[in-house]
Amino acid sequence: MLERDMARYAIGDIQGCMSSLERLLETIEFDRARDEVWLVGDLVNRGPRSLDVLRWARDLGERATVVLGNHDLHLLARIAGVAPAKKRDTLDEVLAAPDRDELCAWLRARRLLHVEDGWLLVHAGLHHAWTATHARELAGELEAELRGPDWRTWIASTMGSAPRWKESRAGAERWRATLGYLVRVRMVDGRGDALGDFDGAPEDAPKGARPWYANDPLALRDHVAIFGHWAAHGAGQGPRWIATDSGCVWGGELTAVRLDDRQAFSVPAVEKALG
């Protein structure tokens, strides 16, 4: 039998659902010696096996391209001791793991935005005025802080609500405004401002609101965005975007998209759905 070519898969929010991930990898016949995965973030939390997911992704080395999501940043804030546990957190096993610090260092070295071959990998979305180049520069500002010696202080400064994006913002306000798009945006209003923590379906959004990708972002004029973060939106595709979050941790599905031909593969969640 002839060997097949390498395949590159984008996988939606795993959130500790390792059993579902194993089923998905079997379905797509993932070859860890040949294939690549692009993970849209939120590897951890709310599902039961966050530690296993982290170790799996880390051990893939260069075969895994990972951007951070809001739950991954929350884990880092928990490790830093600057964030309390939330009601649905399932991070205790990670926090008590003997390799916790190694996993923390690995997470801190991941990106918040990855741009390659006309693809743009991000957890949530982008401001409409950002080009892909500028968005990558903004993400780089945050990544440099996260990888620095004062990362605990930095991550504490990013907590709290995000102000409206303005290029003139500096310091913690600039960081929070940038993160408000990279790891949190779903819908935007008529001015293009992110609608806080709205997490419903697009049709349930306030009048005049639209999905961030429908606001003609400059970055999507020459790139296709791959994102997660939005279970109520569901997996789907448009000409310039691929949504990958199909609500696995909520009892939905876990989805992978083969980027070579944009074919989608989904498996039903194995884990018990969150109530």
Concatenate the DSSP letters of all residues of 156-180 into one string: HHT-SPPPPP-TT--HHHHHHHHHI
Q: What are the angstrom distances between the C-alpha of 219 and each of 47, 125, 264?
A: 32, 10, 23
Mean pLDDT across the stretch 98-127? Answer: 98
Q: Do 42 and 12 form a contact (C-beta atoms < 8 A)? A: no
Count of other CB atoms within 10 angstroms of residue 25: 20
pLDDT of residue 1: 39
Please, which pLDDT band fits residue 61 given cuts at 50, 70 and 90?
very high
Q: Do 227 and 243 form a contact (C-beta atoms < 8 A)? A: yes
d(CA 8, CA 2): 19
Please, which pLDDT band fits residue 275 given cuts at 50, 70 and 90?
low
Q: Do 257 and 263 form a contact (C-beta atoms < 8 A)? A: yes
pLDDT of 182 higher than 60: yes
The phi, psi pair for 92, rounded to 5°, reads -60, -40
Q: Do 253 and 49 form a contact (C-beta atoms < 8 A)? A: no
d(CA 39, CA 53): 11
Mean pLDDT of the chain, nearest integer: 96
d(CA 150, CA 86): 24
d(CA 148, CA 108): 9
Mean pLDDT across the stretch 178-205? Answer: 93
Residue ranges of domains in the chain: 9-268
Residue labelled with tokens 């951070």: 68
d(CA 226, CA 33): 24
Given the candidates 3.60.21.10, 3.30.870.10, 2.60.40.10, 3.30.300.30, the CATH classification of the domain at 9-268 is 3.60.21.10
Q: 10-31: per-residue pLDDT in tens?
A: 999 999 999 999 999 999 999 9
pLDDT of 3 higher than 70: no
d(CA 99, CA 133): 35
Residue labelled with tokens 């379905």: 27
Q: Do 176 and 162 form a contact (C-beta atoms < 8 A)? A: yes
Q: 155-170: per-residue pLDDT in tens?
A: 999 998 999 999 999 9
Amino acid residing at 207: K
Collect all residues with Cβ–Cβ distance below 8 Å to 98 and sequence separation of at least 6.
Answer: none
Mean pLDDT across the stretch 46-56? Answer: 98
Q: 86-96: per-residue pLDDT in tens?
A: 999 999 999 99
Pairing of strands 224-227, 119-122: parallel
Q: Do 205 and 102 form a contact (C-beta atoms < 8 A)? A: no
238 beta partners: 241
121 beta partners: 114, 226
Tokens of 20: 């579902």
Q: 226-259: per-residue pLDDT in tens?
A: 999 999 999 999 999 999 999 999 999 999 999 9
pLDDT of residue 198: 87
Note the residue count of the chain: 275
